[in-house]
Amino acid sequence: MGTSTPQLTEEQLAALADELDEIRRELVDDLGDEDAAYIRGIVATGQRLEALGRALLWAGWFPPAWLAGTAALSVAKILDNMEVGHNVMHGQYDWMGDPTLNSKMFEWDTVCPAEQWRHTHNYVHHTYTNILGKDRDIGYGLLRMLDEQRWRPYYRGNPVYAVVLMLAFEWGVMLHDLEIDRLLSGRRKWSDTKGIRRQMWHKGVKQTLKDYVLFPLLSGPGAMATLTGNAVANLVRNVWAFSIIFCGHFPDGVASFSEDECEDESRGHWYYRQMLGSANIDGGKLFHILSGNLGFQIEHHIFPDIPAWRYQRIAPRVREICDRYGLNYTTGPLGKQVGSVWRKIYRLARRPPDRPRTVLTGASRVPAEAA
């Protein structure tokens, strides 16, 4: 389904699983001080950048201070979202026994409650990656991102919906667990979402008051500069997170799967699906830090609970395995992947051409026009 995918035998899938399981064992056995120092260093850097950004925004009436403060705050929010929040909530640092870095206790600086994100992302998305009808991250219930999604007139607005989702991405992620498309179709009752809505309300109000009321008030005469700086920093974080996530899942070359293909799948097939259903983004060290190391989306999907900064070390081994088994290792620079995603968004907004209607003539099947 989706892009053409090479088929592996059960024996090959079992061998693939053995090889990847061995890499995982090596990584787990090697976890230690280096990993702890890395994540604590990233957390400390983010905290310093946030403090610097808010201090500069306090003097934001002076344009250079506003620009510098907004930039520092934007990077702090990106680090909190991508390299800290996303990775910590995957359980990558649970082994440390540090409550501030525990996946079940961590809460990030965004409107989506962490508990809901862990359900929609850690469980639903990573379990059913790119299975149409099971993975709700395919289009987020809003967009048409696969040819196999049945076209409806609604999808003519695909590019508009994508822009709105990109600019307000934290809010889209927050609303994701409501499954609005199922509510509108009657497949889910509004009353079933009471607990989810309560969590959303509490977290959303808290974040809104913090960014747009509390910190502006604390800035005194610089209130408007702080308010606009916070708004722009959130916008920058939203656009960046949307771009990285969509480039890791929807550029050309990424495969999708049907439910039938994945019924009773083996561990080897799960690895196979994760590798073919993800895409990498080429970049340097700073890029990978700011992307939460999700430029290595393939490695992340096969080892989601391994500290992400290690993905760069194992990527050559994973790529060699893909080459040996004849599997696509989809990767490319950020510009190429972004362009690929947006071309797909525009292309899938158009109604696909009607297939020729066929009629039976004896034992043959020919287009109706020819008949």
3-18 CB burial, b ≥16 within 10 A, e <16: eebeebeeeebebbbe
pLDDT at position 1 over 90:
no
Distance CA 168, CA 162 (A): 10
Q: What is the pLDDT of residues 176-195, one digit of tens each?
A: 988 888 888 888 999 999 99
pLDDT the model gives residue 366: 36
Report percent pLDDT > 90 for the chain.
87
Number of CB atoms found within 10 A of residue 86's CB: 25
Model pLDDT, residue 186: 87
Helices and strands, counts by H and E, the chain: 17, 2
> At 368, is the pLDDT very low, low, confident or very high (cuts 50, 70, 90)?
very low
What's the pLDDT tens digit per position in 48-75? 999 999 999 999 889 999 999 999 999 9
| Contacts of residue 218, Cβ cutoff 8 Å, sequence gap at least 6 | 226
Is 70 exceeded by the pLDDT of residue 371? no
Whether the model clears a pTM of 0.75, i.e. scores above it, the answer is yes
**CB 90 within 8 Å of CB 106:** no
φ, ψ (nearest 5 deg) of residue 366: -130, 160
Domain spans of the chain, in order of start: 10-347
- Per-residue pLDDT, 221: 87
3 state DSSP class of 365: strand
Closest CA to 47 of 69, 73, 25: 73
- Residue 212 pLDDT > 90, yes or no? yes
- Residue 224, pLDDT > 90, answer yes
Distance of CA 101 to the CA centre of its chain: 20
Residue 89 has pLDDT above 60, yes or no: yes
Mean pLDDT of the chain: 92
